[in-house]
Amino acid sequence: MRKPFAVTLDVGSSLANLTGSWRSERPVYVDRLPPCNATCPAGENIQQWLFHAEEGHYEAAWRVLTRDNPLAAIMGRVCYHPCEGACNRGQLDESVGINAVERFLGDEATRQGWCFDPVTTESGKRVMVVGSGPAGLSAAYHLRSKGHGVVIFEAEPLAGGMLRYGIPQYRLPRAVIDSDVQRIIDMGVELRLGQRIEDIQATMQQEGFDACFLGVGSQIGKRAYIPAGDARKITDAVGVLHQMEGEHKPLLGRRVIVYGGGNTAIDVARTARRLGAEESVIVYRRTRDKMPAHSHEVSEALEEGVKLKWLSTITAADEETITVEKMELDDDGFPQPTGEFETMPADSVVLALGQDVDLDLLNRLPGLTIERGVVQVDANRATGVPGVFAGGDMVGGERTVTVAVGHGKRAARAIDAYLQGVHHKPAGKHELATFDRLNTWYYSDAPKSIRPVLDIIRRQSTFDEVVGGLDEANALYEARRCMSCGNCFECDTCYGVCPDNAVIKLGPGKRFRFNYDYCKGCGLCVAECPCGAIRIEAEPD
Amino acid sequence: MRTSHVKFYQTGTFTVGNRLLSEAERSVQSTLERTNALNSGHRACQGCGEALGARYAIDAAMRATDNQLIAANATGCLEVFSTPYPQTSWQIPWIHSLFGNTAAVATGVAAALRVKGRTQTRVVAQGGDGGTTDIGFGCLSGMFERNDDVLYICYDNEAYMNTGVQRSSATPPAARTATSQAVGSEPGNVFGQGKNVPLIAMAHEIPYVATASVADVRDLETKVTKAMSMHGARYIHILVPCPLGWGAAPHDTVNLARLATESGLFPVFEAEHGEITDRRTIRRKVPVEDYLRRQKRFAHLFKPELRTDVIAQLQAMADRNIRRFGLLDKEEL
């Protein structure tokens, strides 16, 4: 071939020059564990469901959410959202309103009539679930979705356990419980109401159950001895909240004293206000900052006119008054009596000093270990009795709805493995997507959207729900505040900033791949990835 | 606050792409269809800002002209690392010129196209800061003065990097280069010298002048696209950090460009017919020290002793830019 003057070689592409050989370090795509997911007691894949919600694909978001937790609408109201406390966005401006979005998705499921996927293959195994509280419902849902036959036994006339009998209506409307429970029943779970189990092993044998999950709530109020002239005026918090669900509402009088500093004390004090009490006073032996109750619930109670009297213990109760002793905190933060007394007018005293689980049904179950009032279980929620698992309040630890749901899920997985004759081993966790892994420059500035709060007058007189939900626009906005920590959200930044075109874009939903033939290992993609989904590591020899 | 409650897209236009935006609102660099004008296998250093800036700019120009584009290229890093004989990384019609005459070569190409009646084919000239602000400056000024139909893009890495980091008229004061060593009582490049070519271009009253950086691809693409929608002489000056010449980590290239613009040292603005029409405001203001500390060419300002006097002079330059170009929103001033 004739070439132009002074040209001896054919034109070639620089693609012949594999610059990847320069590299001493290589970038690798990773999925890191976002802090929200890491702290969720129910093990929800929050980042993933927000990812779908960001696109406005609410049903897809709800389906990802309910893979781990079937009670979205309930969660969106009563979960104490530790996820938001861990949220990396909290270090940038304010944490993402995960709980509010979850509630929106849960309510949207009811509005749109979304159902769980029907069970396609029956395993032929049968599992009994004792208690229809959050732990029992969660276990039943997860077991049923794996194809097992499930029967829930509930002692009360209505389903929900402590959701119904421990949480006031103004926080959790009963219609919400009903619709979330119904969705689980619709999967083919059998619910037997008003059936108290007396002998677990006998029931299992009679009906041919292959395994059992125990999810009994803590329904017995702890008592404290208070010398009382009139014993009728002293009741306990769990009893009051339980009575609220019956036909005869509790009669507490005009001046109500609530003794205790936990969330239940707050619930009762706020309930008393709504029942017409002019004065609803929480007496607590330590200070407000030491109260175990969540601070936003304390604030809501104060807004509604509930009064707090801290550093006080009740020493006696008479017909119209109670006597309290002033306390002071010692150097270790424990309250010590001072010998100073005062009297307060009181029509009734409600004890909210913690709760115990009624473990009577376990008496005839050999092999079960009970320590300090709670059933001992292993990491898989298995008791010492083969095939019997337990979760929720009765196994101790933090007693919240979300923890109970998590127990139910973990136990269901272990039961599923047990029914197949294998031992359940949870999958390993990814490394944590900490704040320093992120490049927050790339996220738009956006403050948190605040949920509408019910007008104060209505809160003091009715049992209407206090906290409202987000509308669609707000929920979308809130979802899009998610930074997708540790998980690629396809922002194309790596694809863009590579000076060597060494990032291959695989198309929507398929993420990216490195072309190591040309990647020089500069690390620009690692430094600029907003969400920390790329790691740089030493080049293998 | 530039976000609104109705339209909030998580990362907005800060990231290169954003799956929440409509197709039309997405950047050229986020698409599978981008030209990749400067292909893989080029011999630029790790983390080269110029390679990045050139691909951003030419890909955008290719889309804006429906792939009817010819590029002339001055001698410099960009030319050397992309076309060692007989290979080329360019996936567009591309012509090499001398160090100093790129503007004139591009003018000739544009003239030839006009004579041939191929008016749909557009011309881009590109060079580094040395080839633009020093060696090619006469040809460039002539191109502006005649209002030739060429977009000239200067990739400014603030020194002659290809030949071993010698000072150019775009090198900032106090920076160490091979010819402005960090010795004596006033180490590094001197204050009070050098050229601001975007302002000189504006003085020619050409249709369009803009500055941009590799830290904001959306802004850069918008400006190239806008320039290609116009005719006559146009000039875009792009800050492209050089890990080798600046003594910076290769992964810090985009971050350094961002710090340069967020500190105010490199003002990002656009002008039409000699008048400034818009500027990119600072989002998260940083002191110049944050920018300087990350580069070894300024290491002598921190060791063996902290030269607060010199840093203050550089800060004063940044503050002047902020005032002069209105780089902060009023409420933040």
Reported as a single tens digit per residue, the pLDDT across B241-255 is: 999 999 999 999 999
Per-residue pLDDT tens for A335-372? 899 999 999 999 999 999 988 888 888 877 888 888 88
3-state helix, strand, coil split of chain A in percent (to 5) is: 35, 20, 50
Name A282's Cβ contacts closer than 8 Å, sequence gap at least 6.
A258, A259, A260, A261, A265, A266, A269, A301, A306, A307, A308, A309
Kindly indicate the confidence band of residue A472, based on its pLDDT and cuts at 50, 70 and 90: confident
Mean pLDDT across chain B, nearest whole number?
94
In the predicted model, what is the mean pLDDT of residues A77-97?
A: 93
Per-residue pLDDT tens for A227-240? 876 666 889 999 99
Q: CATH class for domain A126-219+357-419?
A: alpha beta
pLDDT beyond 60 at B110? yes
Q: Name the amino acid, one letter, at B257.
A: A
CB contact under 8 A, A524 and B47: yes
| 8 A C-beta contact, residue A134 and residue A408 | yes
- B6 inside domain: no
Kindly indicate the confidence band of residue A445, based on its pLDDT and cuts at 50, 70 and 90: confident
Q: Which residues of A touch B20 (CB under 8 A)?
A: 54-55, 480
Per the structure, the count of domains in chain B is 1
pLDDT value of residue A205:
94
A222-354 placed in CATH 3.50.50.60: yes
Per-residue pLDDT tens for A372-430? 888 999 988 999 899 999 999 999 888 899 999 999 999 999 999 999 999 888 888 89
pLDDT value of residue A471:
87
Q: Which of A272-276, A530-534, B222-226 comes out lowest in average pLDDT?
A: A272-276
User: For the residues of B199-229, what is the DSSP string, one character each?
Assistant: HHHHHTT-SEEEEEETT-HHHHHHHHHHHHT
Q: Quick one: tokens of A187?
A: 């999967």
pLDDT value of residue A365:
82
pLDDT value of residue B128:
97
In the predicted model, what is the mean pLDDT of residues A452-465?
A: 72
Domain ranges of chain A: 20-31+488-538, 36-114+456-479, 126-219+357-419, 222-354
A36-114+456-479: which CATH topology? Fumarate Reductase Iron-sulfur Protein; Chain B, domain 2 (1.10.1060)
Of B2, B317, B138, nearest to A445 (Cα)?
B2
Range of the domain at B72: 18-332
Is A208 buried (19+), middle (13-18) or exposed (0-12) by CB count in 10 A?
A: exposed
B63–A contact, CB cutoff 8 A: no
Q: Name the amino acid, one letter, at A515.
A: N
Per-residue pLDDT tens for B291-302? 999 999 999 999
Q: Compute the distance between CA of residue A51 and CA of residue A61 in angstroms, rounded to an integer.
A: 7
Pick one of 3.30.70.20, 3.30.300.30, 3.30.300.20, 3.40.309.10 as the CATH number of A20-31+488-538.
3.30.70.20
Q: What ipTM was estimated for this complex?
A: 0.94
**From the list B6, B250, B254, which residue is nearest A528 (CB)?**
B254
Per-residue pLDDT tens for A294-318? 888 899 999 999 999 999 999 888 8
Name A10's Cβ contacts closer than 8 Å, sequence gap at least 6.
B86
- B288 inside domain: yes
pLDDT value of residue B1:
28
In the predicted model, what is the mean pLDDT of residues A15-23?
A: 96
pLDDT value of residue B6:
43
Of B256, B244, B37, nearest to B153 (Cα)?
B37
**Same topology between domain A126-219+357-419 and domain A222-354:** yes
Which of B46, B90, B262 has the most A C-beta neighbours within 10 Å, making it the best mutation to test the interface with A? B46
Q: Which residues of B touch A495 (CB under 8 A)?
A: 16-17, 29-30
pLDDT value of residue A273:
93
- B2 inside domain: no
In the predicted model, what is the mean pLDDT of residues A240-252?
A: 90
Q: Compute the distance between CA of residue B26 and CA of residue B3 in angstroms, rounded to an integer.
A: 18
The Cα of B44 is separated from the nearest Cα of chain A by a number of Å equal to 9
Is B258 buried (19+), middle (13-18) or exposed (0-12) by CB count in 10 A?
A: buried
CATH number for the domain harbouring residue B37: 3.40.50.970
